[in-house]
Chains A and B, each alone.
Chain A
Amino acid sequence: MHSTGYITRFVLIMTAIVAIALAFLAIGLKPIHKLNEAVYNKRAILSAVASEIEGDFGNLTDEQVQEIFDTKIEQKVFDIDGNEVSSEQVIAAGYAGGRAEDIEMGKERKKPDSEKIFPLYVYTKSDGTRFYIFSVRGNGLWDEIWGNIALESDKNTIAGVAFDHAAETPGLGAEIKDNAAWADQFEDKKIYDEEGNFVSIEVKKGGGTEGMPHAVDGITGATITADGVEAMIQKGMKYYEPFLKANN
């Protein structure tokens, strides 16, 4: 049997060694972690316009993603009224980088509507065609879901979508990310009807959606996640409406 003094000393010394070692490692690796995270987010934004990017999108290296993002994407930030927000105001909102890519949608969701700011990415193809990429965030079944939605230059037709989730069930809710065929359905759907009213996209339960410009098929067994996607697009795109309606 060891004395209480020995036990205390042993535990203290051991914890200190472990804590110091891990702290140094965490600080040392932090720049790499940050870079990885940034590239991961940029890849997610670009994947909304994956079909428009030259080259094999699935095999782009981290450097290529950075390059495409730096050269072909223009970043803008808007407030709820559709006014463009300056870099200083973005910094004031709590994002040190001051650019659209620095905005954390999870934090923005919790702010009151009037204080929210919204990132917008304008992707310009080599032939001059423009695409607008919007970030949206909502609730799935277990946790948050989010995504990037790309509209064509008419600010109405969807060019592509890319969703992700925190904790949806693999094989059910997680299909919003894993099932490429499901996400492909969104292509060429429209968020405005012919009279110019905002109708968003409906995620339908059962039944074909061919020829329906504002609906996609749901996912069997993932009704709540699918409803979450519908609500997320409805609410998220609505925030951008001043920009969508403006003629620029």
Chain B
Amino acid sequence: MAETAVKEKESAISFGKAERKLLTDPLNDNNPITVQVLGICSALAVTTLLNKAIVMSIAVIFVCAFANLITSLLRNYIPKQVRMIVQLVIIAFLVTLVELTLKAVAYPVYKDLSVFIGLIITNCIVMGRLEAFAMANNPYRSFLDGLGNGFGYGVILIVIAAIRELFGKGSLLNFQIIGPGPNYVLDTEAIAFLGWYQPNNLMVLFPSAMFVIGVLIWIQRAWNKKLVDIS
């Protein structure tokens, strides 16, 4: 007991290899979406447009990091019998915070996302990190772990959304890139060259997110040999 306390104190201030690993592991080797296959429902639902995915990612990073921090601060006081409910209250608190703020500062985005912001409460990534990490680690490390997992989720979400919006609507962040459309950012010569593309409506529909996630998992496993033995 005394030993672990000392250990915790040491790592509370430093940013060493172990801390860096907390941040980078969820980005690749232990990605919540492509390796643990968690948080899939929102990954399917909010990735039709890039700007939606970016706002969603920021919300999840915030909730994940601060839920981890608060849970870790309270971890020695939370009664074990009701720990899941307590965690849920913390998450719900933060999600409501995000929802109210978004409604005040970016109402159209809130309208677009509303249901899915609320559904962060049931996002298995957040709950999973609280239960598996924050309940057993100090606040500083927990905060880093939350940030890392939030980013790991966000990166995949943004990649999927970019692919889906580009091929589904021919645009990125609502600026027309390829295909016929009124909102071109490029000059007219480029339109003639890029206008051949016919936006594929399948990419806007939910099943396409499943294909895209599948292909991403495939690419990641082909490239990262460490993952091959895990499953």
Known A-B contacts A2-B81, A22-B96, A171-B168; the reply to A14 vs B86 at CB < 8 A is: yes
Chain A residues in 8 Å Cβ range of B115: 167
From A30-38, A146-154, A202-210, the one touching the partner chain is: A30-38
A25 proximal to B (CB < 8 A): yes
List the 6 shortest-distance A-B pairs measured between CB atoms, nearest first.
Answer: A171-B204, A36-B107, A2-B79, A7-B79, A32-B104, A18-B93
Interface of B is mostly: helix
A91 proximal to B (CB < 8 A): no
CA distance A161 to B206 in the complex (A): 28
Chain B residues in 8 Å Cβ range of A29: 100-101, 103-104
B97 proximal to A (CB < 8 A): yes
C-beta contact mask, A172-205 vs B, less than 8 Å → 1, else 0?
Answer: 1000000010000000000000000000000000
- List 6 A-B residue pairs with CB atoms under 8 Å apart, sorted by A's residue number: A22-B100, A36-B104, A40-B107, A171-B168, A171-B201, A171-B204
Chain B residues with CB under 8 Å of chain A are 48, 77-82, 85-86, 89, 92-93, 96-97, 100-101, 103-104, 107-108, 111, 115, 168, 182, 201-202, 204-206
Chain B residues in 8 Å Cβ range of A11: 82, 85-86
Find out whether the CB atom of A6 lies under 8 angstroms from the CB atom of B89.
no
State how many angstroms separate the Cβ of B60 from the closest Cβ of chain A. Answer: 19
Find out whether the CB atom of B205 lies under 8 angstroms from the CB atom of A10.
no
Known A-B contacts A2-B81, A170-B48, A171-B201; the reply to A40 vs B89 at CB < 8 A is: no
CA distance A112 to B103 in the complex (A): 33
Chain A: which residue is nearest B48 at the CB level? A170
Chain A: which residue is nearest B45 at the CB level? A170
C-beta contact mask, A5-20 vs B, less than 8 Å → 1, else 0?
Answer: 0110011001100100
